[in-house]
Structure 1
């Protein structure tokens, strides 16, 4: 079903998704954005539609490692705003700050270079998939520690059964998805 980003974007994403059975483990149906980003005209249309939605309302795009970078960089370029990279622990050089978050079996950490964030800037967080919301929520917390205003997380695909939207709502963030499955 199409999400808040609209029926046209939802249809574009849905018609260009790859489905890979039993990946990364047996019983999982993996939804792959590779066919979408490999289709130049479809990918260009997606970025243009996202830019139209967010034009004038954001000062920067924060892409989450790693597929959020693929979506965030061209969107930031189209909007003429900065691109922030939020990465897994140990991947950024220099001074970083981080936020730990829980996984099903353990924990992980997301980091950013704080000097890349302009305090008071309006930042849109973008990623390919929203499942539990742990990574996105940690990233929102991280950006807010740097003084950014974050009100929205945009994703291409929301896996409804994992309740990520509810987790983000607890962080006072709106989730906007292209496709909800």
Structure 2
């Protein structure tokens, strides 16, 4: 059996958290996550706009029965392709940025919360309710005001 002295020479006591969250200095993880979350917000707004346009065109003009030429005659249909292309572009940019987020170390509570917000946004409650609720719970443990500050991400529209 190892004595305390022998054990200390073998095992170094460190916190399981690698960073000192009490320090106030720039946090690269928070910055990268903010960029990702801004794009994600833009994606959600564009997707909502696209859905409204598509619903209108289905209801008013029988969208799926129209040829491309007939569809081109409707001014309301013009933004669909533009929105779709922009959504693809934002998705690709965020996909690339996700790798940087995974590799960045959160050095503040805000950085850690930001990384959890990204995870929360990626785990939709309809796809994995238990994991979504777990991440949300952890986020609220870290930042008790999270439900009011991040309402759009914590409570996505249905």
TM (norm. structure 1) is 0.24
Which structure is richer in relative contact order (CA contacts within 8 A, separation 6 or more)? 2
TM-score, normalising length from structure 2? 0.26
Larger Rg: 2
Which structure shows the bigger proportion of residues in strand conformation? 1
Structure number with higher helix proportion: 2
